[in-house]
Structure 1
């Protein structure tokens, strides 16, 4: 199973990550904002029937509400959202606003739970360094063997008690100091997860940003630095 998250309008990165061999793919939200190709990314997810949960940016774009971004990136999310609204159709926005908060599956006897931020809120960050007592509060007593989350743009695989927590990182805008595309693969037979990093045509993405988007130099710097 391939896990992708936080695509953020970066079609070149999405194309790269879909080259990873997989039998099933689940997207953990945030298809739009920050990147130059939100329309193309949303269409790809829709046309390929990729199961996707609601990210905070999906809600902000589709329902025109506050994204709940951290201070560091909020001005960029606000500025690029105006661009996103210009290039996305009402049909695409309707798709975003009707995404589910979570998806639950059972495969090979494993209970799997997919959401964007945490089982409590898609605005809440679960990070590699989040203390155990905070994790305990965030999981809200959900019954699952594996919890898949995105939102932080920081990839990790972490064992918490009897639960495995997997964050595949960000496809379209990594923020862990590595500009490569980030995703994860999960083996439903062994119950093991692996983070995968891939090169992509970042220069094409940067050209598209420069040609059409506000704050292009800042956006390009973030992409190339990975933060």
Structure 2
């Protein structure tokens, strides 16, 4: 079975549609459906209509509970400035969907334990990046018994072995920040227990048009998408 792992959609419906076209049998979303992008409601609707298992991200929590997002300094002002827009375009059902999201999800495949969360097993605010020291990661994951841990949050895709645990970050669907402007996701083959990062082109001009028509900080939001960070 091909498990499509997506994360950090951030209101980018065009990018979400593109990754959903990658051949798969099931989808799991690691959170952050909202903020930064022009179509958060439409993205939520895709996940609810298709009954996709979804984890709560820090931005989902910030929108649902009107809390601080705990974002990195470089992008926090954009999260704050676009949140008012996000609140205005989401309906009560969509907000309620965000409120009810779990912070982790587990399953077993071929005798291997899979653990899914947004930031780290300790908190959706924790950043695990490709260059995070191994000792730091060991502290983040020491309470979890798993063979594979799937995380998002950093917007940086990677597959990394830490001791007996394989960490998979699919990168960001809607706001890649590794210098590659294509939408990012991962495929996990539950038969071979192998993961791969997949990049997908999407119509960025449509997203730019929606940002210009509706959102604050227009130039900065578009520049991030154009340069991929």
Same fold (TM over 0.5): yes
Q: Deviations over 1:130-154 (max 9, x none)?
A: 0011001000321001000000000
Q: CA deviation at 1:41?
A: 0.3
Which residue is equivalent to 1:4? 6
Which residue is equivalent to 1:34? 36
Distance 2:72 2:112 in 1: 34
- 5 Å-filtered alignment, 1:130-149, equals 130-149=132-151
Which residue is equivalent to 1:117? 119
Alignment gaps of 5+ in structure 1? none
Which residue is equivalent to 1:206? 208
Tell me the TM-score normalized by structure 2: 0.98
Give the secondary structure class of the aligned counterpart of 1:147: strand
Alignment gaps of 5+ in structure 2? none
Which residue is equivalent to 2:160? 158
Q: CA deviation at 1:191?
A: 1.1
1:72 to 71, 74, 90: 74
Distance 1:111 1:189 in 2: 13
- 5 Å-filtered alignment, 1:48-67, equals 48-67=50-69
Runs of 4+ in structure 1 off by over 6 angstroms are none
Tell me the TM-score normalized by structure 1: 0.99
User: Which sits farther off after the overlay, 151-160 or 186-195?
Assistant: 186-195
Which residue is equivalent to 1:91? 93
Which residue is equivalent to 2:192? 190
Distance 2:30 2:13 in 1: 16
Which residue is equivalent to 1:20? 22
Distance 2:127 2:69 in 1: 13
Q: CA deviation at 1:189?
A: 1.2
Q: Deviations over 1:35-92 (max 9, x none)?
A: 0000100111111100000100000011111100111101100010000000001111
RMSD (Å), alpha carbons: 0.6
Distance 2:52 2:208 in 1: 26
Q: Deviations over 1:107-151 (max 9, x none)?
A: 121110000000000000000000011001000321001000000
Which residue is equivalent to 2:83? 81
Count of matched residue pairs: 227
Q: Deviations over 1:1-22 (max 9, x none)?
A: 0000000000000000000111
